[in-house]
Amino acid sequence: MFDDTIAAIATPLGEGGLAVIRISGATALAVADKCFQPVGKNSRKPSEATSHTIHYGKILRAGQQVDEVLCAVMRAPRTYTREDVVEISCHGGILSSKTVLDTVLESGARLAEPGEFTQRAFLNGRLDLTQAEAVLDMIHSRTELALAAANEQLAGKLGQRINQLRDGLMETLAHIEAYIDFPEEDIEPDTGKAFDARLANGIVFMDELLSTANEGQILRRGVRAAIVGRPNAGKSSLLNQLLGHDRAIVSAIPGTTRDTIEETANIRGLPVVFIDTAGLREAHDELELEGIRRSRESLARADFILQVLDASEPLTAHDENYLAEFADKKRILVRNKIDLPAKWSATDLERRAPPRLEPGEVCQRAETVLGAPVVDVSCTTGQGIEALKDAIKSLVWSGEIKSEMLQVMINSRHQDALRRGHEATTRALNAFRAQEPLEFVALELHIAVNAIGEVVGKTATEDLLDIIFKQFCIGK
């Protein structure tokens, strides 16, 4: 528990119907008493109110009314932070909410740091570190699948698995250390086999968790897809179709897009950041040159590309060069304008584009050329857009998205800790099988237990906590 009391606006800044000022700490009730005046016979001052009740009244500053509010009183330990908490609901608006907050701060609270409410919830045992991170994931969720995964983690599903793994390794370590301390107690062969099996099972379990890292990253941060092609191929029209609304300017004039445009779309439950790039061609002025330079930068950062080709015009030397240039990039070839008479077919691409593979290796499946899926679309009529969404989903996520997968999707921090735990456990198992001194085995298991404990925060350092919680906004 902390000695000081913190306060912050817990709702987004701006105009709205309501704003909430959250107060948490040992003197939260006393702070609220100084500025909240109950109105009506059933309303009470916070220090006199029972837990989990709401009271009508007004906020006073220097004897003057600031706002009429509702004051929610929640007494420890049944609160978000496991401290006394008061939440004041006032009228929304930048000035009104800030004035109420200023009054609370003048009454004895200090302004909370980013993420400090959730950090207190973690340090007071209300949440483990995976659950605290899930709060941030929920705030940043951009699709229903991402929200579902964050909810599973907030419910403690990942933390339970990690704790089971850590407890198992702790038990194994205790067994080894007991044998080291009492060497006269020989380990029987069957006991040795059981020890071997426990370590091997722990390694398999970590392998399973590590295999979810890629999917977890996709749900949390999304994937980046650059839309590329020569001018007037229909890149901006394709972006508008995928987003479901007009975001980019569409014109028959070549070179309309001079800068990159980024927007996120929900594609079959996955957040995909689409980047509409300037048409790739020889620049005619400085502005277009800068746009093409930024397009190249976006291509370098993209996870995959949508290479748009105009089916209503013959393939050009530029098309062929770009087909060859991006052959090593994960991509989908989008054959646009199929509502118009076609001047070439998908099979023409194999004949005209410079091959990067040996003969016979270029096309492994009927629906692919140059090793990439080809999707026919019309950005005018919308034909083929749903098939393109299916192709995007298949490209970035293999197999079906199952609900049980969402329970244990790890993030990059978890991945790093588990990888170190996996390596140390593997070294311990190899040392045990090689009949090396058990002190070596115990040392590696200590490293493994500490690394795995970092995931749930049982061995978290102050620097690690600062990095995690400073990603939060003030008030959360």
Full DSSP string of 137-189: HHHH--SHHHHHHHHHHHTTHHHHHHHHHHHHHHHHHHHHHHHHH-TTSPPPH
The sheet carrying 64-74 orders its strands as 36-38, 53-61, 64-74, 85-91, 18-24, 6-9, 110-111
Q: What percent of the chain has pLDDT over 90?
A: 39
Residue ranges covered by each domain of the chain: 6-112, 131-212+409-469, 222-396
Strand 304-310 vs strand 270-276: parallel, antiparallel, or unpaired? Answer: unpaired
Per-residue pLDDT reduced to its tens digit, 310-335: 988 888 887 777 788 788 888 899 99
Tell me the average pLDDT of the chain. Answer: 83
Average of per-residue pLDDT across 358-382: 63
| Angle 344-345-350 from CA coordinates, rounded to 5° | 105
- What pLDDT score was predicted for residue 278? 61
Give yes or no for residue 266 having a pLDDT over 90.
Answer: no
- What pLDDT score was predicted for residue 190? 53
Q: Which fold has domain 222-396?
A: Rossmann fold (3.40.50)
Average of per-residue pLDDT across 187-213: 82
CATH 3.30.1360.120 fits 6-112, yes or no: yes
pLDDT range class, residue 121, cuts 50, 70, 90: very high
Secondary structure of residue 117 in the 3-state scheme: helix
Give yes or no for residue 402 having a pLDDT over 90.
Answer: no
pLDDT range class, residue 101, cuts 50, 70, 90: very high
Per-residue pLDDT reduced to its tens digit, 340-356: 988 887 777 666 554 44
Average of per-residue pLDDT across 288-301: 68
**CATH class (in words) of the domain with range 131-212+409-469:** mainly alpha
Give residue for tokens 């817990």: 10
Per-residue pLDDT reduced to its tens digit, 50-61: 999 999 999 999
This prediction's pTM: 0.73
CA distances from 197 to 169, 425, 433 (A): 12, 12, 11
